[in-house]
């Protein structure tokens, strides 16, 4: 795909698609609940459609019409042993959270994914689930897909996670819903809390005490109505584009403002970006608002520690932002990037260097020196099959002189099917 370059301005208003993390969880908890769940502004991206497909194979009646999904909950004991292998596609969230749910089911299931999923570590989830009593086997002793799981008769667990991961936390808590007793997860830093909020929305109980989250099982969930806010991880690409493309002003409507996810806004503010948030309100259990960003003069910052879990998915686009900030930006404590859809540390550095960025990789992050003009002298950049890399490169091309072509642009459908159309609408 030929990318727009030499862009003189980006102006307009868009509504980014529904939050991917919330869309996954809405389908999953709706499937476990008793009664009907209606999901509005659902993200019909490839990852979330994989979640729907898996739960249909588990016997759940799910109807999708664009961004509206109706789930007829199976209720307690209602999931059925699948006749076919459960294929999670490219979705790590589907794989890890589904394992937590399957751990509590008295039947056998097999789980596979695509080439990218086959490289992503599952041991961080299978380890605590085995401690709870699930029988799990697979490649490299169950550390990688394909995986086989036979669940049921779980024991409650008090688990101290070595990583701050919403996927690990959610998998263990979801399994805890099927135990007789209290299951808890303690993290080194606070990760996104969509699971905790949504369990409460479905009538369940969750206790949060500092960095420890616990559930007492068994719990009975009730179907509900859910509005999925716009995904701030998708909005991040346009927040950065509005800050770095000349003469720009972009307003993003109905964006999720969950405080465990707004690290990108904190970084923009610390860098001196012109960002305004208004019309803030609550939709169900998630805060939502409108964000306006304008072309800004930026300064370098250091990003690490507790902030990393709040912006881990936004680091590729933050790296691009840093190329346009005066000074040296350091991103650290982000080794989790190595086990995403790609090794995002290596991929971001490799691809941005093609534009002439002054960027280098470290063991747990990157060092970016700015402000650096970007050039696209007929270059070919590659998403490497990673949706967030593909969108980041499209934004980079906007401020580059010359021409650029993006290989494997189709990767963006995982989280933002209309991304290129929305970008063109602002030109």
Q: Residues within the annotated binding site for 3-phosphoshikimate? A: 20-21, 25, 165, 167, 313, 340
Residue 399, token pair as written in the block: 């401020």
Look up 313 and say whether it is catalytic.
yes
- Report whether 52 contacts 74 (CB < 8 A): no
Catalytic residue among 47, 313, 386, 422: 313
Nearest to 124 by CA among 342, 335, 308: 335
110: how many CB neighbours lie within 10 A of its CB? 16
Tokens for 296?
A: 């800004």
Task: Kindly state the DSSP code that residue 343 receives in the 8-state scheme.
Answer: -
Q: Is 403 helix (H, G, I), strand (E, B) or coil?
A: strand
- Tokens 């932002």 correspond to what residue? 321
Give the pair of three-digit tokens for residue 345: 């540390």
Query: What sign has the CA pseudo-torsion 21, 22, 26, 27?
Result: negative
Burial class of residue 328 in the structure, from the number of CB atoms within 10 Å of its CB (0-12 exposed, 13-18 middle, 19+ buried): middle
One-letter-per-residue 3-state SS of 47-64: HHHHHHHHHHHCCCEEEE
Nearest of 88, 82, 59 to residue 71 by alpha carbon:
59
Q: What span, in angstroms and rounded, lies between the C-alpha atoms of 169 and 176?
A: 11
Binding site as annotated, residues for phosphoenolpyruvate: 20, 92, 120, 167, 344, 388
Which residue ranges make up the annotated binding site?
Answer: 20-21, 25, 92, 120, 165, 167, 313, 340, 344, 388
**Which residues participate in catalysis according to the annotation?**
313
């Amino acid at each position: 795909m030929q990318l727009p370059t030499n862009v003189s301005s980006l102006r307009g208003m868009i509504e980014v698609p529904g939050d991917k993390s919330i869309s996954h969880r809405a389908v999953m908890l709706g499937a476990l609940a008793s009664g009907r769940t209606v999901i509005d502004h659902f993200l019909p991206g490839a990852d979330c459609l994989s979640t729907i497909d898996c739960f249909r194979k588990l016997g759940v009646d799910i109807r999708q019409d664009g961004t509206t999904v109706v789930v007829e909950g199976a209720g307690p004991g209602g999931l059925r042993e699948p006749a076919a292998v459960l294929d999670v596609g490219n979705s790590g969230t589907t794989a890890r959270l589904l394992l937590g749910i399957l751990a509590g089911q008295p039947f056998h299931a097999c789980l596979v994914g695509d080439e990218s999923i086959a490289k992503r570590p599952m041991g961080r989830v299978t380890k605590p689930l085995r401690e709870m009593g699930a029988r799990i086997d697979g490649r490299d002793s169950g550390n990688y897909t394909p995986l086989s799981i036979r669940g049921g008769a779980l024991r409650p667990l008090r688990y101290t996670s070595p990583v701050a991961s919403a996927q690990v936390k959610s998998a263990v808590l979801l399994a805890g819903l099927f135990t007789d007793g209290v299951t808890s997860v303690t993290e080194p830093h606070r990760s996104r809390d969509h699971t905790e909020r949504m369990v409460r929305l479905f009538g369940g109980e969750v206790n949060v005490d500092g960095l420890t989250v616990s559930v007492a099982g068994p719990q009975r969930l009730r179907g509900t109505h859910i509005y999925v806010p716009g995904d701030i991880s998708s909005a991040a690409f346009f927040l950065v584009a509005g800050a770095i493309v000349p003469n720009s002003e972009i307003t993003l409507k109905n964006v999720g403002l969950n405080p465990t996810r707004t690290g990108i806004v904190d970084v923009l503010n610390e860098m001196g970006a012109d960002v305004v948030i208004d019309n803030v309100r609550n939709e169900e259990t998630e805060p939502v608002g409108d964000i306006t960003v304008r072309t800004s003069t930026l300064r370098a910052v250091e990003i690490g520690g507790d902030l990393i879990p709040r912006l881990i998915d936004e680091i590729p686009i933050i790296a691009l932002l840093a190329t346009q900030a005066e000074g040296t930006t350091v991103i650290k404590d982000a080794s989790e990037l190595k086990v995403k859809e790609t090794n995002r540390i290596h991929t971001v550095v490799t691809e941005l260097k093609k534009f002439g960025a002054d960027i280098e990789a470290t063991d747990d992050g990157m060092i970016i020196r700015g402000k650096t003009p970007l050039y696209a002298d007929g270059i070919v950049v590659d998403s490497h099959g990673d949706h967030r890399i593909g969108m980041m490169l499209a934004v980079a091309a906007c401020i580059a002189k010359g021409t650029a072509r993006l290989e494997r642009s189709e990767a963006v459908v995982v989280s933002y099917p209309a991304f290129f159309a929305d970008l063109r609408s602002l030109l």
